Every structure is written in structure tokens, then in C-alpha cells.
Structure 1
Amino acid sequence: MFDLDGVLVDSEPVWEEVRRAFVADHGGTWQPDTQSRLMGMSTAEWASYLRELGVRMEPDDIARGVVAEMADRYRDGVPLMPGAVEAVRRLSADLPLGLASSSPRRLIDVVLDAAGLKECFAATVSTEEVPRGKPAPDGYLEAARRMEVDPHGCVAVEDSSNGLRSAYAAGMRVIAVPHPRYPPAPDALALAWRVLPDLDALTPGSLS
């Protein structure tokens, strides 16, 4: 099971830039811990949170505005993580793959289409499609359900604190590939079954 943002796509800096500017442009105040709190939230959750920061719009309108800006950025090029395409293709040759992402469905599809990876995944889930975002396990559990596999037999690849907590709560073994700019909290990293330096180290052998 793969996460998307921060694992396959170096999108967290883009999300931060877009949401930070959106908050400033609409009367809100970005807080020092805002970015870390946002990581893993579903679209509905982070849109409501931005409203709490003082954005004078309804959450649905906040979500539409931010996602539209993200889609515009991706049209200029999807910032794939080094080794992402190779890692997915390497594993998909031998294993069924799923994806559980906090990104909205629109952006998941844009990324996988642009990278030519859509056919590599047996199931993809946006936390828009489940009751709760990360750190709740809902997205990972739904991906396992769609693939008709036992979550306890799955290995999840994550980078963020809330992502690690989510996959662990789903009963999966978790491989952490920490993002250098947004490293997970020590207590979240302690949940990892294995920590890898980058996606080049993610091989079928690293899953056993």
C-alpha cells in the first residue's frame, strides 16, 4: 500500500505554498504548526481547519479554490519523488498494489495519469471517500477491502506522522521513507517496522 503525497509525489511543499497563500489572501492567519497539522487530513477536514484559521469562506468553497490551484500547478508538471515510478513498477511486477491518499480524487488521477502508473494499482482510495482522514485508519482499511486482502498482511509505505499512525492503526506493517523537509515525529517514526532512506531501497526483498 502506497501513500501519495510525500512518498510518490513531492507535493507537500506545493500544498504548503498554495494553502498558505490562500489563507493569507482570504483573511486568515497561518500558524507555526499549521502544515504539520494539515498533513494527512481529508479534504473536508483541512478545508474546515483553514476556516478556523480565519478564512472567510465556507469549507466547500475553500476546498474548491485550493484544489483548483493545485491542479493548475500540476498541469505545469507533477513533482514526482526520485525513484517513484521505478519503485512502483518494480513492486507491481510481483505484488498487487493499493494506494491510500489524503489527496482528493481529482489530484490522485492527475498524478497517476501523468506518471503512467494508473494500471499499476489494483485499488486507489482518497480519504474524501471514507469517513475520516489520517491518522484514522479508514483509507487504508478501505483500500484493503477493495483489494479483498487482509490489512494485517499488507505493508504500507508512508512518510508523515499521521500517515504512519494511520497505516499502523489499520494493522499494517509500515515502512517509513521520511521526507527530508517534513520528517515525521519521533513517536510516529517509532511505529515503523522498517525505515528506508529513499525509494531506491524499496524492493520486494525489503518487504520481507
Structure 2
Amino acid sequence: MTAPLPAAVLWDMDGTIVDTEPYWMSVQGEMVKAHGGVWTAEAAKTLIGQGMDHSARLLQEFGVDLPQEEIIQAATDGVIDHIRSEVPWRPGAVELLRELRDRGVRTALVTMSIGRMAREVADSIPFEAFDLVVSGDEVEHSKPHPEPYLAAARALGVDAADCVAIEDSVAGVTSAVAAGAATVGVQHMLNLDDTGATAIWTTLAGRTVDDLADVLAEHRAARGADPRTRTDAPTPIVEETP
């Protein structure tokens, strides 16, 4: 028997749909260097999945002598310039988005990048991929707080517990799990073991809507009839590339 489809699939963006983390790291490094500081790969990795305010504060600590909002806008400009030169799609992401649309599953983009960055990426997809975009400048609390995913589910008129979230960062997985969504962690630049993800995949390449339905079914089985009444996270299912 085929598992029921998710009420919606909620997508992270940077590192999940587009491999923009190297772009962010490059831009951040250039900004720190321009202000006489030294950026490190270790510091850059701590920003993966975090809100832009958090990133701006850390860049200030590394010597960038600019107001936070100016840092956010300048960093976003730099990454958008890179995207306009080349959109670095993550394997399987656009194909899975296309299948979701073809099968009538609602989708939302839930990103801590600001709105114009989110629109740049969404507009680069060769079809209307999302019913909704929730960006970092639209929420009070950034990931790892559950607000972004709860806001997306509420705007779509669905329960987060009936949704699947797709994430690549510890902060993002933590946010989605706290919101109650079944969560797929796609291993990329960070180790997602022990994050509470329902399933951990090595890639989206070859994955289907039915695979997402299976993740939701596993999530429901692990948490019981009402997933909001349990606080223990299920053990993630670590799967190899199909």
C-alpha cells in the first residue's frame, strides 16, 4: 500500500536546492579581508543554516566595521552576483521539485536568506516551484528556532506534523524537527547525525515523492498517532544513494 503524500514539502534553500555555501564563504572572506581581518573555514561553517543577523554579528566580531544591515545587504549582493554567473543546483533538487508540482503536492521555500535572494533562486527554476516563500527577513526568530517552519505550515493552511522538511544544516534540521515536521537531512557540508532528522540521505538524486511519503509514514509511526504529544525524536534512517 502506498503511503499518503505529505500535505506539503518545506524546502531549505542554501545547500539544499543550490550549492551556494561556497559563495557565501567566499563573500564573507572577502569582506573580512577588506577590513583587515582573517576569516576561517571553521567560522564560516558555524554560519551554515543560521540567520543573516547572526552572520552579520560574527562578521563584525571578525573586524567588519559596518552596521549589521549593511553587511547583510552587501553579502547578499555578492552571492547574487555569483548566482547570476552560475546557478549551482544541488543534485536531484529541481527534479524532485518538478515531481512534487506534477503530483499536486504543495511546496514552500523556507530560507534564512533575505527575500530578494530567495526570489533570485526561485525565479531561476524553470517552472513555478513554490506556493510560498518564507525568508529570514519575514520572521522574528531564525533557524534553529521552529518559527520559520511553523510560519510556512500556517500560511499553507496545513499542520507541520503532516509535512516533510528537507534540510542540509544542523540549525535547519533542528528548526524543522522542533516544528514537528518529518525531516530529511541531506548530508552536504555538515554532519547531521544526532540532529533528530527522521531520515538522512546522501543526495536527492534519484529520490521521488514516494520516498518523501515513506519518510512521513516513518515519522508518524515513530511518534505515535499525534506527533505533537511526544518529545523524543526518532532515530534517523541513514540511507545510501539509490
More helix by share: 1
Gaps of 5+ in 1: none
Contact 1:28 1:56 in 2 (8 A): no
- Equivalent residues, number: 203
Distance 1:168 1:14 in 2: 27
Contact 1:27 1:56 in 2 (8 A): no
Determine what percentage of the aligned residue pairs are the same residue.
36
Residue 103 (1) aligns with residue 110 (2): no
Partner of 1:85: 94
CA offset at residue 120 of structure 1?
A: 2.2
CA offset at residue 85 of structure 1?
A: 1.3
Distance 2:67 2:38 in 1: 16
Moved more, 98-107 or 24-33: 24-33
Which residue, 173, 180, 183 being the options, matches 2:182?
173
TM-score, scaled to structure 2: 0.79
1:13-162 mapped onto 2 (5 Å cutoff): 13-31=22-40, 33-94=42-103, 95-117=105-127, 119-162=128-171
Gaps of 5+ in 2: 1-9, 215-242
Contact 1:127 1:138 in 2 (8 A): no
Letter of the structure 1 residue corresponding to residue 122 of structure 2? L
Runs of at least 4 residues of structure 1 off by over 4 A? none
CA offset at residue 164 of structure 1?
A: 0.8
| Root mean square deviation of aligned Cα | 1.5
Choose 1 or 2 for highest CA Rg.
Answer: 2
TM-score, scaled to structure 1: 0.91
Distance 2:73 2:185 in 1: 31
Distance 2:146 2:206 in 1: 26
Residue 183 (1) aligns with residue 193 (2): no
Letter of the structure 2 residue corresponding to residue 17 of structure 1? S
